[in-house]
Amino acid sequence: MSTLANNNQIPEQEAAFEVDIVDAQNNALVKIHSQPGYWQDIAQQDSQMELEPSSISLFNHWLSSVPTVATAVAGNSAQLMTCSFEYSQLVQAKDGSGAIGAVLKPDSHKIGAQARFHEAENLKSLVNASLVFNIASQLLAQKHLADINERLRIIEQKIDSIKGHLEQSRLAKIQAFHEHLNIIGLLLSRDEIITKESLLNLAKSAQEVRSQVKHLEKDITQAYREIEQFEPTSWFGSDDLREALKLKISNVERLQREYLTGMQCLLVANLILFIKHDGNQEFVLTSEVYLKELNASNGIFQQWEKIKRKVAHHLSKMKPIFERTSSTQANALQVERKLNQTDNLLSTDNVLLAQLGERIQAAQSPQVLLEIVDNKVLRGRFLR
């Protein structure tokens, strides 16, 4: 998140204000905070985080139509304004009367939205919920849908690295699902319309891949059990033990990568479906279930930690009577290297999963920072 780099240089003025735009049930739809400041005071970030001109135009149209905001900004040469949107709440407000009031709070220097107005004499104070929703939708499209293609490229690289196991795994169906996601991602990048039928097919494909992932989960449990039950003792040498244990670890690595690739594709699909289905919370809840499953005590990450300890225990027992200690240690080192390789791959997958989880959370409440000079929004950037 961007922060003000030189807060002490921004004077404390009455021009600082806050606006909360709420629905009839007093649920916050948009939170606005503005204070005097300059763009150069902001810690610099990647230019890809900056808003597109079309979004800037929408902000100018919207903010000028909110009298309380327009009045507060008028006469101030430069303002830094933070706008936070509650996407799912906006969907519901958009489907209502579409009119949300914003008024000055009594005995306060802050401006807040207090009620939905219906009387004709108050029409000038109305905020068009559909316009606000369109802004939030456009922000989501720029920030998250563009990011989806990059995530899919990362997943594709991983699929390519384990293609050799296609004949003996369920990866082929996951790969087909990934290709489907790539097509959707291409359409999104071209700003093409995604039909309801396409979204329905995507949801159905996600259910099929979910079924494959659950089967992989069972296979992983069995592969873990085989490592736990491995007999590490031998009378005449550790070469066979080394190869047998490395083979079991390789099997776990392959299954884990297939499983996590499927989960990553499912999270990408849920992000697309959440945005294209107007913030349907079903897809957020589904993603949360997936993430909890991964991090549960019986989930893949916790169980893998137990397996690492078990392999270390096996290696400590691997002391053949008729073998030099140096030979046994050399074989143990090879097993440890294989274990570390598998561990590193799992850590990389975990990072990508965490990033996808963050994207889904951020998509529910996009937040931007705007520079306003002489009553006009000049530019903006994403905070989340």
Domain that holds residue 82: 7-135+366-382
Name the pLDDT band for 277 (thresholds 50, 70, 90).
Answer: confident
Q: Does residue 153 form part of some domain? A: no
Domain annotation covers residue 155 = no
User: Among positive and negative, which fits the CA dihedral 345, 351, 355, 357?
Assistant: positive
Is the same domain home to 175 and 75? no
Nearest 5 degrees, angle CA 271-CA 155-CA 187?
55
| Interval 41-74: pLDDT, tens | 776 666 568 888 888 888 888 877 765 565 556 5
Q: Which amino acid is at 178?
A: H
- 173 with 68, same domain: the answer is no
DSSP type of residue 42: B
What's the rounded mean pLDDT across residues 187-208? 88
| Predicted confidence band of residue 164 (pLDDT cuts 50, 70, 90) | low
Q: Are residues 347 and 258 in the same domain?
A: yes
Residue 142 lies in a domain: no
Neighbouring residues of 138: CB distance < 8 A, sequence distance ≥ 6: 52, 54, 55, 58
pLDDT at site 74: 58
E strand intervals along the chain: 17-22, 28-36, 78-85, 99-101, 103-104, 111-112, 126-128, 367-373, 376-382
At 128, is the pLDDT very low, low, confident or very high (cuts 50, 70, 90)?
low
Residues 182 and 290 in one domain: yes
> How many domains, in total, are found in the chain?
2
Same domain, 223 and 294: yes
Q: How confident is the model at residue 256 (pLDDT cuts 50, 70, 90)?
A: very high
pLDDT over 90 (residue 186): no
Average pLDDT over residues 310-335: 81
Residue 240 domain flag: yes
Per-residue pLDDT, averaged over 202-220, amounts to 93
Q: What is the pLDDT of residues 325-338, one digit of tens each?
A: 788 788 888 989 99
Say whether both 183 and 107 belong to one domain. no
